[in-house]
């Protein structure tokens, strides 16, 4: 069972309290962008075996979206953080790097 701490409520919510909303930190390409960019924004998603940044929603709790950094292979959670950010905070990056010095970054 995956357990994430909601950064807004401070509760340790399990998977059944949450709703996964896919990859985090997508850059939106809207009207006027090139077809390739638009296709990438709409359809192309990472599917890494290892460190992944995701959006989650505390669906049956406060209802807020938040971000989580976790490992898709080991289910280890590196941390959760506010959704009001464009990239992972330094503390999260450091937590990942401490475990995986060879990790290539979130981009």
Partner 1 sequence: MSNAVSTLNGASFDGYVRVEEQGLVGMITLRGDLASKPLAKAVKAATGAAMPGQGEIASGDKGRVGWMSPDELLLIVDHADANDMVAALTKALAGEHALAVNVSDARTVFRIIGAATREVVAKVSPADVNALSPGQLRRTRIAQIPAAFHLIDEETAELVCFRSVGKYAFDLLKDAALPGGEVYA
Residues that bind partner 1 (CB under 8 A): 8-14, 16-17, 60-64
Q: How far apart are CA 7 and CA 107, in angstroms?
A: 23
CB of 12 to partner 1, least distance (A): 7
Of 25 and 64, which has the nearer Cβ to partner 1? 64
Q: Which is nearer to partner 1, 20 or 63 (CB)?
A: 63
Nearest to 106 by CA among 53, 70, 54, 65: 53
**106 and 95 Cβ atoms separated by less than 8 Å:** no
CB of 9 to partner 1, least distance (A): 6
């Amino acid at each position: 069972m995956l357990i994430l701490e909601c950064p807004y409520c401070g509760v340790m919510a399990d998977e059944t309290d949450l709703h996964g909303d896919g990859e985090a930190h997508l850059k939106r390409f809207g009207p006027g962008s090139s077809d390739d960019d638009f296709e990438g924004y709409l359809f192309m998603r990472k599917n890494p075996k290892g460190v992944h940044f995701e959006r989650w929603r505390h669906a049956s709790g406060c209802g807020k979206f938040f971000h989580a950094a976790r490992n898709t292979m080991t289910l280890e959670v590196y941390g959760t953080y506010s959704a009001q950010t464009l990239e992972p905070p330094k503390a999260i990056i450091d937590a990942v790097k401490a475990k995986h010095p060879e990790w290539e970054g979130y981009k």
